[in-house]
Amino acid sequence: MLPERFTIRSMVMFVVVLVAIAMLLPTLRAYVNQAGELREVQRDLAAAKEQRDSLQVELDRWDDRSYVIAQARDRLSFVMPGETAYRVLDPGTAGERLNPDTGEEVGPGLVDPSAAGLPWYSALWHSVKIAGQEGSADDATGGTPADDTTGDDSDGSTGTTDDTTGDDPGTTDDGGTP
C-alpha cells in the first residue's frame, strides 16, 4: 500500500488545488492586463483633458479684439487703414539685395505691390487677373502680348490676327492675302 504521508485524501486535495489554480490563473492574468489597460486609458484621458484645456484657452484668446488684430498683422500681413506697410530685410540674410524675380536691386522704402513677397491673397488675386488677360504669359513677365493668337510658331511664320489692324505683314486690310 501507499505510505502514510501520501493518502487518497491528500491526493484528492492536491488535484482540487491544481484545478482551482488552473481555473483562477487565466482570470488573474486578464485582471492584471485589464488593470494595465485601465491605467493607460486614464493617462490618455488626462492628456486629452489637458489638450482640451489648452485648446479652450487658445479659443478664448480669439474673443479678444487685440489678439485678432495681432494675428491678422502677423499671419496675413494686414495693416490698419491709414498705415503704410514696410518690408524689413535682415542685412545678414539679404545677401545681394536683389529681387529674385526681376533681378533688380531692392532698395529701402515702401513695398512695391507688383513685386514678389506679396501676401498670399494679393499674389493669388494678381495671378487670377493675369490669367484672365490675353497673352497672360507675356503680361506676367512685363512684355507685350504677342500678335499671334493661334499659338507660338517656332518656324517664324505668323499666325492669324485681326484683319482690320493690318499688324500682320502676311495680310492686307481687306482680309485678303498680298
**5-55 pLDDT, tens digit each:** 678 888 999 999 999 999 999 999 999 999 999 999 999 999 999 999 999
Query: Could you tell me the three cell numbers for 86?
Result: 514696410
Q: What does the pLDDT read at residue 150? A: 47
User: At 151, is the secondary structure helix, strand, or coil?
Assistant: coil
Query: Could you tell me the three cell numbers for 143?
Result: 512684355
User: How do the residues of the chain divide into helix, strand and coil, expressed in percent and rounded to 5?
Assistant: 50, 0, 50
Q: What does the pLDDT read at residue 121? A: 83
Whether residue 77 is predicted with pLDDT greater than 60 in this model: the reply is yes
User: Does any domain span residue 78?
Assistant: no
Q: 94 and 63: one domain?
A: no
Q: 109 and 65: one domain?
A: no
User: Does any domain span residue 20?
Assistant: yes
State which residues form the domain around 105: 85-140
More confident residue, 41 or 173: 41
